[in-house]
Every structure is written in C-alpha cells, then in structure tokens.
Amino acid sequence: MYRELLVVQQRVLGPEHPNTLSTTRDLANALRSQDKYAEAETMHRELLVVQKRVLGPDHPDTLLTATNMACALYCQGEYVEAETMYRELLVVQQRVLGPDHPSALKTAERLAACIHAAHSTRNSR
C-alpha cells in the first residue's frame, strides 16, 4: 500500500512534499522491518538527500531518516559506514537537541553497539 500511495503522492503532490517524504520514510521502514535492508538503505539514502535540501540538515525528520539509514547499514553488517553515520548524527543531535536528549542518548548507545560489532568482527577474522 505504501508503494501505491507513494506513486500517487509523487504525481499529485510532488516528490518534495512533506507527505510524500513521510510516506517514503514509512515505506523504507516497512522494508527494513521485513529484513529488506539493502532496499531500505537505498530509499533512506535517497530520502536523506532530498530532506537535507528541502528541510535542512538539522530538521527532526532529516535526523530521523539519518538514524533509520544508519540502522539499515548496521543490520547489513556495514558497521564502519553505520559508525560514521552515527558519529555525525550524534554531533548534530547534541548540538540541536542537547546532550541529554533521549534521541542523542539512543544514538550514543547505537554508536557503541556499532563500535563493538565492528571490533568483534575484526577480531573473529
């Protein structure tokens, strides 16, 4: 249903309309929840480019998409790229939301998990 809705929204509202962006994120998250991480990553990556341009890099929706993309990378075992994204995201969240904000704390936790996973993977080789 998200795919069908997205086609209509892109045609009627345009690809940069907030509703279209929201549906794109919802579809990517649905794909991720179905373990279709590569497809979800691609959608999040494309969405992130548009959101940074349209909403700005500090907008809550942009930050959420960056979080979702980093999560998709982590789920694929792409720990180095996920770690980079989490590090960049944490800097912005701490600046915009504050260091004690729940989102910033969750990102710090995910960053630690990424570092641990990357270290464990290197040591098991």
List, for residues 7-61, the tens digit of each pLDDT value: 999 999 999 999 999 999 999 999 999 999 999 999 999 999 999 999 999 999 9
pTM: 0.90
List, for residues 76-117, the tens digit of each pLDDT value: 999 999 999 999 999 999 999 999 999 999 999 999 999 999
CA distance 55 to 34: 28
Residue 82, token pair as written in the block = 């996920």
Note the pLDDT of residue 55: 94
CA distance 74 to 81: 8
Does domain 2-123 bear CATH number 1.25.40.10?
Answer: yes
